[in-house]
Amino acid sequence: MTPHNTSPFTLPPTDLAMPWRGLDKLPRRPDEFTFVLLSDRTGGARPGVFERAVDVTNLLRPDFALQVGDVIEGYTTDPTDLARQWAEFDAIADRFEVPFFATPGNHDVSNDVMREHWLARHGALHYHFRYRDVLFVVLDTQDPPQTLEEVAVERPFDWFGTMPAHISDTQAAWAEDVIHANTDVRWTVLAMHMPAWQGDGHAALDRIRSALGDRPYTMFAGHTHNYRRTVVDGRDYVRLGNTGGVWVHDGDEGNWDHITTVTVTPTGLKIANVVVDGVLGVNGGVFTPTRWNDP
């Protein structure tokens, strides 16, 4: 008979055969933790989708949620309209049952008035934090905001090409300092709104990547409302899809409303995309997937 005293399970004694397997594969808590990423809800938010994503996040119980920008329509200098838009989002975000971290998007900070409003609400446009020996760096790709000319050009923009991201030299220097001051972390996660690595890339992002050197890291962004993973020098660069925003691409590839769950393990990140229509709570219900191009 074999007692199983080395397992956190309390199991009955057995002979060689047993109705379980893989006890050596038990997740190594608390070395592991999970966070989720949510993406864009702008360009004409489809009612109920981001709200559904919040509910799914609460069901999955991650350690925290990180959103990659564009939660209000923005592009206004009217304080009353701006307050109304943020109040609408606050009513949704208040439903999170886990900590929530924000990233500025072009819709959120599209001009100086909106940037000042963001700073009054959130205190910082770029920032970093550590959680269980993992460094999180949140970048502002609207530093400074796009000009009206750039906004006009973006409508027919090549969404798979170079992004009109702006990352100032001052912000790049800040990121370099943060990275150099946190050399003891086991992983680094960088979040930004625009995927500044696409196409011709961005000089400031090149500086940040140089500072990262050989350490393991993963980058996440949104903006394009379409999911795409790119591997560069063995690192994942993940462009998130939609979380309720308008569809801007043709075809089915990468077009779904989702949240992304990321589990940090001792050997790396495990990334899973959860399509929000596919998660039902304890009451069940009717599973009716919404195609990306449905009205």
> pLDDT by residue (tens digit) across 75-127?
999 999 999 999 999 999 999 999 999 999 999 999 999 999 999 999 999 99
Q: Rounded to an integer, what distance in angstroms lies between the CA atom of residue 227 and that of residue 220?
A: 11
- How many percent of the chain have pLDDT more than 90? 75
- Domain layout of the chain by residue ranges: 35-278
Burial class (CB in 10 A: 0-12, 13-18, 19+), 19: exposed
Model confidence at 151, in pLDDT bands (50, 70, 90)? low
pLDDT of residue 230: 96
Average pLDDT, the chain: 91
**Is the CA virtual torsion 57, 276, 37, 34 positive or negative?**
positive
Confidence band for 1, pLDDT divided at 50, 70 and 90? very low
pLDDT mean over 20-47: 90
Tell which wins on pLDDT, 18 or 1.
18
**Sole residue written with tokens 């790119």:** 230
The residue type found at 68 is: V
Asked if 229 and 236 touch (Cβ cutoff 8 Å), the reply is yes
**Of residues 31 and 54, more confidently modeled:** 54
Pairwise pLDDT comparison (217 vs 149), residue with the higher score: 217
Phi, psi at 218, each rounded to 5°: -140, 140
CATH of domain 35-278: 3.60.21.10
